[in-house]
Structure 1
Amino acid sequence: MESAPNCAICNAPAYPECPCEAERLQIAVKQAEHRAMEPRLAEIRDWVIAHSRQHILNAFHNLSSTRKQAHYAYLSRLPNYSIYMQFSGHPPIHPTYLHQLQVQIAEAHADLKRGIDADWKASVLRYPEVLDYFYSLIELRIPSDSSPRVSEPPFAIAGYADQGYDHSRLGNEVKKKKKRRDREGSAPAYVDDQMITVAGRALRHPPPVPTPPIQPGGYSRPPGYSF
């Protein structure tokens, strides 16, 4: 029966399933997303905001320009307005007509201000729609699973295969290291009954522990030692 490995985080048994690895995976995913996506998201965000703001400003400019044209057209139709402007607000007309004209001009300016505020509010309130539109223009592409960059990433080529751990690669590395040690004279070139092999590498058993000599009359004790 194949045994499942213990938890890589806390070394708890595989059953029941330990939540440590799943929790650490979520943390690692968030950290990887931050490293990989945050610079790109910042670039995308700046691009979307710049184009959205420019569109909102253009829309407001169009609305306010139309409103200002209607405002000036209305003023030009008021009685005595042309002479009022000609004399810089002090025309030679009856005070009653002058007061009436000033009231109409003030009301028209107040209407223009309220209209411009409304145009700006209407333009700004379109930000969600405009932002959604420009974000929709961004193209995100996931590479194909058959792409060599997916099936053969650099770390796979460097030391493991996606089908599982390649033990033959470990054996080759061990043989190379053994040959190098043999050339340097730091390891024996033979295997006898005191040698064992682990993962392709020869290891010598530790030497047996010598038994203390027994003197006549009992155990040998160091000077000054007593039970």
Structure 2
Amino acid sequence: MAPSHVPYVDPRCAICTAPAEASCGCEARALEVAISQAEGRFFSPMFMDVRSWVRARARDYILDYYREISKPCRTAYARHRDVIRATYRAKCPPEDPEPNYRNAERIYRKNIDEAWSLAVLRYPEVLDYFFSLVHISLPDDQDPVLQQPSPGRRRHDDSDDGRPPFNRLGEFRHRRRRVFEPKRSAPIPAFPIPPRQPNGQPAVAGRPGWPTPPPSPQAFPQQPQPGAWSMR
């Protein structure tokens, strides 16, 4: 500890060596640059992992959702073909069935396209949900990673004031990092299935009161295992 009679002197700028009274701002700008570079080194790999995690689960959900809402289309198409075939065999009226088959296929493809569009248009909602499951956990001020004294100091050394040990930053750098993990308490979203008309065509989008589909095993993340999403 410095003697009380020694005056405090503001150091010069570490970047341009201007006197402290000049308030040049070089150090503040350099700090912002250093923070941006550190963020890139530290968070870029984590964000890539999170992005891959969200992308895979959102894609699985959309595909499951599409399969669910396209089932009535396939059922209606199969029944339509059965009716055409039965009518042709009964010859009432006797006519070439090919135009009817082509018309049935046209309707089926139109319904499939609508079902796929309904599913794909839900990507923003689904992505928001899965991104909302990710959170960042920071160590508190009393965490040992911030409080542990450096080696070589005596237990009752007056210089040990609980601040981070500057000569051990290299050891702590990879010991504990920020943690990304799914929230266990997040509610499951209700993504409605559009009701189908008797002919298999989707009803008008936006109709209230749609039922909620049961989640498939691939639609939502499982409970994370211990240490999941821990970046070490």
TM range (shorter): 0.5 to 0.7
- Give the aligned partner of residue 35 of structure 2: 29
- Give the aligned partner of residue 43 of structure 1: 49
TM-score normalised according to structure 1 size = 0.58
Partners in 2 of 1:32 and 1:140 — Cα distance?
A: 17
Alignment equivalent of 1:53, drawn from 59, 71, 85: 59
Q: Deviations over 1:69-88 (max 9, x none)?
A: 1222233234xx1375xxxx
- Give the aligned partner of residue 225 of structure 2: none
Alignment equivalent of 2:94, drawn from 91, 97, 102: 97
How well do the aligned residues superpose, as a CA RMSD in angstroms? 3.2
Counterpart residue identity of residue 2, structure 1: Y
- Give the aligned partner of residue 128 of structure 2: 132
Partners in 2 of 1:22 and 1:154 — Cα distance?
A: 29
Cα drift, residue 30 of structure 1: 1.1
Verify the 8 A CA contact 2:15 2:26 in the aligned structure 1.
Answer: yes
Greater helix share, structure number = 1
- SS of 2:20's equivalent? coil
> Identity of aligned pairs, percent?
33
Counterpart residue identity of residue 95, structure 2: L
- Which has the higher relative contact order, 1 or 2, with Cα contacts under 8 A spaced 6 or more apart? 2
Residues 1:163 and 1:134: Cα distance change in structure 2 (over 3 Å) = closer
Cα drift, residue 21 of structure 1: 0.9
Counterpart residue identity of residue 50, structure 2: I
Question: Higher Cα Rg: structure 1 or 2?
Answer: 1
Residues 1:163 and 1:19: Cα distance change in structure 2 (over 3 Å) = same
Counterpart residue identity of residue 57, structure 1: L
Verify the 8 A CA contact 2:149 2:162 in the aligned structure 1.
Answer: no
TM-score normalised according to structure 2 size = 0.57
Verify the 8 A CA contact 2:149 2:160 in the aligned structure 1.
Answer: no
Unaligned runs of 5+ in 2: 1-6, 154-158, 167-232
Alignment equivalent of 1:20, drawn from 26, 31, 35: 26
Aligned residues: 154
Partners in 1 of 2:48 and 2:149 — Cα distance?
A: 27
- SS of 1:11's equivalent? coil
Residues 1:26 and 1:161: Cα distance change in structure 2 (over 3 Å) = farther
